[in-house]
Chains A and B, each alone.
Chain A
Amino acid sequence: MLTAITRAFRTPDLRNKLLFTLGIIVLFRLGSVLPTPGVNTVNVQQCLKEAQAGDAANIYGMVQLFSGGALLKLSVFALGIMPYITSSIILQLLTVVIPRLEALKKEGQSGTAKITQYTRYLTIGLAVLQSTAFVALARTGQLFPNCRQPLLVNNDVFTVVTMVVVMTAGTSVIMWLGELVTDRGVGNGMSILIFTQVIAVFPSELLNIFRQNAFTFVIVMLVGVFMIAAVVFVEQAQRRVPVQYAKRMVGRRMYGGTSTYIPLKVNQAGIIPVIFASSLLYLPQLLVSLFGNSENPGPIVQWLAQNFVRGDHPVYMVTFFVLIIFFTYFYVSITFNPVEVADNMKKYGGFIPGIRPGRPTAEYLNYVLMRLTAPGSLYLGLISMVPIIALVVAGASQNFPFGGTSILIMVGVGLDTVKQIESQLQQRNYEGFLK
């Protein structure tokens, strides 16, 4: 284990990638701590301390989790990676609905680039909306209802506009950082950044629990380790569909004749459905925080405030569960295309024993995938539910740091990243071995 790490740092190529990723993480955290111009840092810190210690702590839990603690600090990267994720979900959903986007997607590389461009525009739009909302909240002092100190240095229009512009710019920088990690670093940029956000709030929450009750702390840690193991177990489970390749002569050489398999994971979708579902459910909270404090909130906002703000409300839980199952199927269907896989196999002379190449193969793959995704989606839903249910049963209302979502994100990204490092390491070492 330790030798693997030293070896990883000894290979220059991999070392550069790792250091690059770490550098991006440092930059990301710097932006999450750096206050936006116009913010009274001392007052914000004080209010933050009061809010975290007070009863309102669990209301802020979700907000904190999804911004890596940056939002309440009113920092440059206050919005975190959420706008980018939300807009990529919206575009992926729209691809199914709008024929023009579907045509673009089928176009291949240039079309995908176009869709990415739209995603970025939408991100900026969302960022402007969200930052305006939060700056407005901060200005009127509703961000911390119990704290009566002015959060801004002054309340004129210029300051507010500056803050909105800075936060929006911060969001686009985050977007760029994420893409840089995907290009030149280790792992998927978006996942790495959301991983950083999730683990950034961990120490303070754990510390909170430890201060309240050391016994609970031990139990929480045990449950956490158990859940990590459970997630690893399911993530590693594969259904191996056997594929036999026909032998063929090309010139004087013999090719193929090997038998391999197509690995279909039980949870082929990974952690994306959970991220999608929770960021979608984050929208009502946003709406409530925007309009909920006005004198006369509309019936819709009131209903949302009653049912969707607290994570342990039945309506919220059911919606969350259904959304996860929906997104799992949705994401599997857009990432794994059985027809394409079957076509490729046919082209290279491969077949699944007992099933004809071409259409029947595609149908068979689809059959297996749909059957596997059912337990996969249930697993995702259940893991995300477990902590909430446990909280309700135990009657403990404090924020559970091992929320299913954060566990899934942590383990999913952790596994992916470690595997990617390992495969690159192997590549390197085999190369050195052969020379």
Chain B
Amino acid sequence: MKILFLLVLLLLISCLIAIDLNLPQSAVHNAANNLNLIYPTASSMSMNPAICLPGLETSSTYLFNMEELSKYDLHLVIPLGNCCFHLGDSYLDHEFYSENQAVLGINYSSHNLTAGFNVRMLSSQVKGYKDTGSTIFDGGLKWSNSNVSSALAVRNITQSEYEGSILPIVYLWESCYQITKCSRISFGLEKENDFDFSFKFAGRYDILRQLSLISSYQFEPNRIGMGAVFNLYKFNLVYSVRTHQYLDLTHYISLSYEITH
């Protein structure tokens, strides 16, 4: 089944060029099934431009544990007054195909509200065949108080096209609630054109100041993610895994450095 899926994936790859596959951008996203409020990181801004944690983050994975399908991410978020600026890049590599996504983002916070905006430049290459690309715009809003935060992201807000076809708009709404000093839960809904609503749930528990556990579930498609965040001074090391119904686990690892706001 795994080989079959890989073959189908490779056959479809020319159709998937520059189509945003909504892949995780970091180990935390992998653990939380792309929910961002449960543990914001620098890469969160690429999923929802209103959510971020100033810092530098780099991540790496073999998707579905296939050594031939590697992915690398690098994100930098710099705070400046009430604004945060984001510069990021994700690179998916395969022997016959590669895809690069460069992200430029900004958000502005006022009181409890944050609004953000992203420009994503997707470029892909079928090796020995052709290169192509597309520019995508995302918007995001976040509201938060001491215990509750809620955010909405609209990805591909301008309905950008790729080779004459309109790329899908993705809506992601999520809310996060701090239950106790050490625990928080998050749930969200994701909707992509022509797909059903995808429900997501995530929990975070801070065992120690230096160690947090994240676990999550996504409904449609059904996936469980889990990960551990090791925090030392301003450095975070995150390891996570996420299931797939037919393929192997995706193991993800991230290393980040927080910049004090």
Q: Do A and B come from one complex?
A: no
Residues of B within 8 A of A (CB): none
